[in-house]
Amino acid sequence: MKSILVLSAAICAGASLLDIPEGHPLVNWRPAGPGDVRSPCPMLNALANHGILPHDGKNITEEQTINALKSTINLNEDLAKTQFEAALTTNPDPHATTYSLDDLCSHGILEHDASLSRQDYYFGDDHSFNQAVFDQTRSHWKGPFIDVEQAARARQARVDKSNATNPDFGLSKDALSLTYGESAAYIIVFGNKTSGVVNKSWVEYFFQFERLPIALGWTKNEDEITSSDQQTIAQKIMDASNKPAGE
Ligand code: HEM
Ligand SMILES: *[C@@H]1O[C@H](CO)[C@@H](O)[C@H](O)[C@H]1NC(C)=O
Ligand SMILES: *[C@@H]1O[C@H](CO)[C@@H](O)[C@H](O)[C@H]1NC(C)=O
Ligand SMILES: *[C@@H]1O[C@H](CO)[C@@H](O)[C@H](O)[C@H]1NC(C)=O
Ligand SMILES: *[C@@H]1O[C@H](CO)[C@@H](O)[C@H](O)[C@H]1NC(C)=O
């Protein structure tokens, strides 16, 4: 038994020397275990579950963030840098150069009310996947594909529900803008950033399991995803939200 453990440790150490080819299947997915920390962000959690970010979710560097987002979802380096800098502001240490996934849970820095798959801070756990909340969101995704209009309706329904039920409800200007950006994010990463249409089963699988939907046939976008792609789709979602129902 002991020698098997030693051998597998040696194999694991050796594996890091291999040059993993582009498109190699991500086989190392494992949910968080004891001592691992996770965030309210389904994407960062998924990357940690896959072991592309540190599996324990701790002390994540800028380089790790940029590399993970580039190699798995083809996110542009500037956009990843901006997001890393936002993440750093959630580390209670003002001189920190890394963040841990649980830093992102602090209510009112990046974490906000009316999430698509998490309950509001007022109700308790603001960071773990919540089935009831997510079921409300996905009830607005009617067909096999989610378009900008359905993304807008799902997002707005969560805002309205929180506004009606949470006595402490609030969304700052920045938080409002984050909510549009997050709805845009699942479209541009898993779908077509030009048409704004995404395969619903891939998005549901991603939220539900915090795992990239590779087993369902998703592959990373061939075109690099930029902040301007995100802004374009976020703007379309905002425009669709301001239209009366049925238009
Ligand atoms: C370093 C990069 C990133 C950071 C620091 C980050 C941080 C966060 C945080 C703090 C939240 C919680 C907001 C809330 O209260 O709902 C969040 C939500 C979210 N993030 Fe990320 N994120 C990053 C990258 C990404 C990427 C690349 C995607 C692409 C799909 C993504 C998708 C989402 C989605 C869809 C939500 C909304 C979850 C919900 O409303 O339930 N994130 N992110
Ligand atoms: C790693 O992060 C933890 C918080 O998750 C912090 O307490 C610790 O000081 C960090 N370690 C290093 C080496 O930065
Ligand atoms: C919340 O509801 C109030 C009262 O109906 C409304 O004035 C406000 O605009 C709503 N907030 C958001 C973010 O929708
Ligand atoms: C994305 O949608 C656009 C516009 O509808 C279309 O021209 C393009 O072929 C689609 N791209 C992919 C990769 O399917
Ligand atoms: C959508 O995802 C399902 C897997 O759940 C897959 O069978 C189907 O081919 C996908 N559709 C497209 C157009 O990629």
For the stretch 157-167, pLDDT in tens is 999 999 999 99
Model confidence over 93-134: pLDDT tens digits?
999 999 999 999 999 999 999 999 999 999 999 999 999 999
Binding-site residues, ligand 1, Cβ < 6 A: 40-44, 65, 69, 75, 83-84, 86-87, 104, 110-112, 115-118, 182, 185-186, 189
- Nearest-CA residue for ligand 5 atom 13 is 199
Ligand 2 pocket, 59 CB below 6 A?
yes
| Final residue belonging to a domain, choices 87, 111, 135 | 111
Q: Among the listed ranges 26-40, 56-70, 81-95, 218-232, which one has the minimum average pLDDT value?
A: 26-40
Mean pLDDT score, 187-203: 98
CA of 222 to the centre of ligand 2 (A): 35
- Nearest-CA residue for ligand 5 atom 3 is 216
Ligand 2 pocket, 100 CB below 6 A?
yes
Question: Domain tally for the chain?
Answer: 2
Mean pLDDT of the chain: 91
Residue 103 maps to a domain: yes
Closest ligand to residue 104's CA: 1
**What's the pLDDT at 22?**
54
- Residues 134 and 246 occupy one common structural domain: yes
**What's the pLDDT at 242?**
80
- Residues 148 and 88 occupy one common structural domain: no
Ligand 3 pocket, 157 CB below 6 A?
no
- Nearest-CA residue for ligand 1 atom 20 is 41
Taking the CA of residue 189 as reference, the ligand 1 atom at the shortest distance is: 30
Which of these, 216, 167, 166, lies nearest to 191 by C-alpha position?
216
CATH number reported for the structural domain that contains residue 212 in this entry: 1.10.489.10
Ligand 2 pocket, 98 CB below 6 A?
yes
Mean pLDDT score, 134-148: 98
- Residues 97 and 118 occupy one common structural domain: no
Taking the CA of residue 91 as reference, the ligand 2 atom at the shortest distance is: 4
CA of 146 to the centre of ligand 1 (A): 18
Ligand 4 pocket, 219 CB below 6 A?
no
- Residues 89 and 126 occupy one common structural domain: no
> In whole angstroms, what is the distance from residue 204 CA to residue 199 CA?
9
Residue 51 maps to a domain: yes
- Residues 148 and 214 occupy one common structural domain: yes
Mean pLDDT score, 209-220: 96
| Final residue belonging to a domain, choices 111, 136, 170 | 111
Domain range for residue 154? 112-247
* pTM, full prediction: 0.91
Closest ligand to residue 206's CA: 1
- Residues 122 and 228 occupy one common structural domain: yes
**What's the pLDDT at 190?**
98
- Residues 226 and 104 occupy one common structural domain: no
Residue 150 maps to a domain: yes
**What's the pLDDT at 13?**
36
Residue 23 maps to a domain: no
- Nearest-CA residue for ligand 1 atom 14 is 111
